[in-house]
A and B are shown apart, each in its own frame.
Chain A
């Protein structure tokens, strides 16, 4: 399978991630969408790494993305708990203090 096949999967996964973020009414779905987007970019890096002749750079980026995702999940979970504490709801549409 060529580069374009992997890129297509990556783009589709990215789109699904964005749809997940903007269409569901629960903060946890925002987290899941972010994970999908990060995975999509990982696929991109891995695919370019492979089709540009191997080497370590792309892999390193994927590994750091995975590290970042782990850190992000921990912090985001804490934020979700705090949002729930503050607004008594996990709907992202209710946490709209940015409007003020």
Chain B
């Protein structure tokens, strides 16, 4: 195995301790809050908010440390286990075999640093916002406790250095999402108890499908990777010692890429399957096409929850997972990723144009933006950086949009229907300004944060198409610009309907007022980040439109993100087949990767997708704004007429393509139907069979009694008895008695043991 330890940065212990404190502070806060929160002054909200403030300071401080490391030598990745800071779960006193031990530590690299800082900042401001928004809620202290535990899980997920712990935190986030979406289902005075309960159940069950896929994928890598690796070692294709299974990210990257390189750049089939399973986890958590149905319903939760969990952090965790497992993904998987992401982006954007609920628009917008990120990662290595980049910028402006929407809802006394709003810009000037900034940002207005990331995604899609033409990159290239156009349209539709024009409902309008300071401060800071985030760390000070040498690209670079892995020889083998083997040049791994990358960059420059992409994104921006202005601001084109002209198509979109109905009709109905069929079989066929056979036997016996009493009667009784016994055995299994279930379980165990002992 090549020695890659020189690529890892070593951090002093006190910095690791600081990083460990990051997830532990919310955890301690949770414990205090859940036990004593109700009795603390102000129900303990100040405690958790202050704790999150400390967390934010640490994450930002550590971000600058990471930034300092990464600007120098290029590689920045640190693992606490290498610095002797970590634990050994399932510790074995005699380490003869790697088999059972599970060393666990923290991992801190450029991607982790950026994500950690984003989560820290967004969580603090969401906490601050919640102190105003949730005021007077019946379960105020529980809300704060839950959101704090959620933050713990998210920070732990970002810091974990192996996929098993990532999965544990992933599941914990799923649980907290369930509890927070269902927050109002426990409140007897809420009028949406049923909806909230149904929504949280739906979110939990739907994401569970993806989580199971992720678990399968993990298990496949744990068991099959060492098997395949050791096989190649025996054949002499890999010169290394034999290995056991591992969950550690860096080991997985290196070993998987060694296997792929030994195979001559081709991914084995099992790795494609496992990669698809892992992507299944992303599909569930990041609400991609077949499993997106839970996210719009999740808006039943309180708005700060939507801002934090369902816009900035948890749904981005799926994209983060893709970033962490990118070297394990074969080109086939990436094509699927790009196709699913691109389709989701366009599909959700069309629905977003028809929704009237202010949070619903933002929910579909989130799905669409997540589709952008996923599609971008599917387009290859440059797209990987662009997608992660968009994840970071999106976290700021989308959380700000949600919080602003929350501010509007708060100001309008919990009215969410945009048709009843209008003309609010004078009554809520700060909210209006923040929402406008973030809408421009998400639409990709130049010099706003969203422009840099979205432009880069579209460039990556164009580049991916020209390098590697397949269904996925084609879908991404076609769908993404269209989706970007619709993004602009629905965002400005929201702005115009809510803040411009005449007030449409006097009741709402009379009550409308600006929100208290803690809410406006939170949204203003986030809006500033959504605006200046672009200048701050996405853009080079001297060349505002250039794409090189920025903070983010220096910290998150596909050449240095995965130490010891050369993506040009594995993931991009199909894309850059012409890249000469840089090993001939000698030199460090960075140099090697750099040479290959130079070549790739040359290819890009010959085509220069950046210019094309910039033109395309500006064009779609203008088209979108123009459409929205015509329809909703100047009222030149009556929206009702437009929808009428669209006819049946509009009805389909407005009903969300009937996906919920389809799922209800197929999956849920199917399950219930299957149960009904089984019951029918049980009641009619099995029972009927027993009875019929018995009856026939009896009749036969009766008629043949005179002929041969003994033979036939005996036979009949045998048949009847057998069938009856059969029926009663089948019935036994459904007794509901624990003792019987225990005996079945033990009998099963005995059978397994006997099988093992006999064979």
Contact = CB atoms under 8 A, between A and B. Distances in A.
Interface of A: 18, 21-23, 30, 55-57, 92-93, 95-100
Nearest to A52: B94
B88 to A, nearest CB: 12
A94 to B, nearest CB: 9
Contacts of A55: 93-94
B5 interface: no
26 contacts: A18-B742, A22-B739, A22-B742, A22-B743, A22-B746, A30-B738, A30-B739, A55-B93, A55-B94, A56-B93, A57-B93, A92-B739, A93-B737, A93-B739, A95-B738, A96-B735, A96-B737, A97-B736, A98-B736, A98-B738, A98-B741, A99-B734, A99-B735, A99-B736, A99-B737, A100-B736
A69 to B, nearest CB: 18
Contacts of A93: 737, 739
Given A18-B746, A22-B743, A92 B93 contact: no
B740 interface: yes
Contacts of A23: 739
Contacts of B739: 21-23, 30, 92-93
Interface of B: 92-94, 734-743, 746
B192 to A, nearest CB: 29
B92 A57 contact: yes
A95 B738 CA distance: 8
Nearest to A93: B737
Contacts of B92: 57
Contacts of B738: 30, 92, 95, 98
B742 A21 contact: yes
B34 to A, nearest CB: 19
Residues of A contacting B: mostly: helix
A99 B737 CA distance: 8
B679 to A, nearest CB: 13
Contacts of A97: 736
Contacts of A98: 736, 738, 741
Given A55-B94, A99-B734, A99-B737, 7 more contacts: A23-B739, A30-B738, A55-B93, A92-B738, A93-B737, A96-B735, A98-B738
A26 to B, nearest CB: 11
A1 B736 CA distance: 44
Contacts of A96: 735-737
A97 B742 CA distance: 16
- Please provide the 8 A-B residue pairs with the shortest distance between their CB atoms, ordered closest to farther: A99-B736, A96-B736, A98-B736, A22-B739, A22-B743, A18-B746, A93-B737, A92-B738
B94 A92 contact: no
Contacts of A22: 739-740, 742-743, 746
A3 to B, nearest CB: 16
A96 B736 CA distance: 5
Contacts of A18: 742-743, 746
Contacts of B746: 18, 22
A56 B742 CA distance: 32
Q: A22, A92, A99: which has the most chain B beta carbons within 10 Å?
A: A22
Nearest to B92: A57
Contacts of B741: 98
Contacts of A99: 734-737
B427 to A, nearest CB: 54
Contacts of B93: 55-57
